[in-house]
A = this chain, B = another copy of it.
């Protein structure tokens, strides 16, 4: 079994597609563009994915898997209070989303609106992925309550939900205005909502 090679090509397609779709969207990008960039013939694509939609689901799945891994490392930095770890996360978010190049930006923000009325499968992955992120944030909020480094205005999972959504909205508006002010507003509001000032 050549399973490693199999997943290499598959993963290579996914890796190539990420920055392209991240900047142009899902519908606007054709398979041709992705496959030419990846140097993979079209015939192979349908060996690894049964349709463009299935490919979209896989793209989001791997994206969230990676994201959650990174999130984990940020939120478990040793020698920092829960509040500090959390704020470092938002700071990362700000830096990434304030960058001009859309390639590295959050796929959830980019695709949520476009895709969730279009593909039930992709919508579900988005739902599960964002849910997992929020759950992980809630966990750190709990820790912050325990170590008394922050004081959320409400129950942890409720607070995590609102904070995550606040940042989604800020990122969306940052796409519109093309500057970091929306994100800086979010940072300020976040501090306030966590009782950090």
Q: A residues engaging B (CB < 8 A)?
A: 23-25, 27-28, 102, 108-114, 116-118, 123, 126-127, 130, 153-154, 158, 161-162, 164-173, 175-178, 181-182, 185-186, 188-189, 192-193
- Give the distance in Å from the alpha carbon of A157 to the alpha carbon of B104 in the complex: 30
Chain A facing B: main interface SS: helix
User: Which residue of B has the minimal Cβ distance to A189?
Assistant: B162
Contacts of A158 in B (CB 8 A): 185, 188
Q: Are A116 and B165 in touch, CB under 8 angstroms?
A: no
Q: Are B165 and A186 in touch, CB under 8 angstroms?
A: yes
Contacts of A166 in B (CB 8 A): 162, 165-166, 169, 189
Q: Are A116 and B175 in touch, CB under 8 angstroms?
A: yes
In the complex, which of the residues B165, B173, B175, B192 contacts A170, with contact meaning CB atoms closer than 8 Å? B165
Given contacts A168-B173, A172-B172, A176-B126, contact A117 B24 (CB under 8 A): yes
- Give the distance in Å from the alpha carbon of A100 to the alpha carbon of B119 in the complex: 15
Given contacts A165-B166, A192-B154, contact A172 B109 (CB under 8 A): yes
Contacts of A116 in B (CB 8 A): 175-176, 178
Given contacts A154-B192, A176-B130, A182-B161, contact A117 B25 (CB under 8 A): yes
- Give the distance in Å from the alpha carbon of A47 to the alpha carbon of B111 in the complex: 33
Pairs across A and B, CB under 8 Å, 30 listed: A25-B117, A25-B118, A27-B28, A28-B118, A102-B117, A108-B176, A109-B113, A110-B113, A112-B173, A113-B113, A113-B114, A114-B114, A116-B175, A116-B176, A123-B178, A126-B176, A153-B189, A154-B188, A154-B189, A158-B188, A162-B170, A162-B188, A165-B166, A165-B169, A165-B172, A168-B169, A169-B169, A189-B193, A192-B193, A193-B193
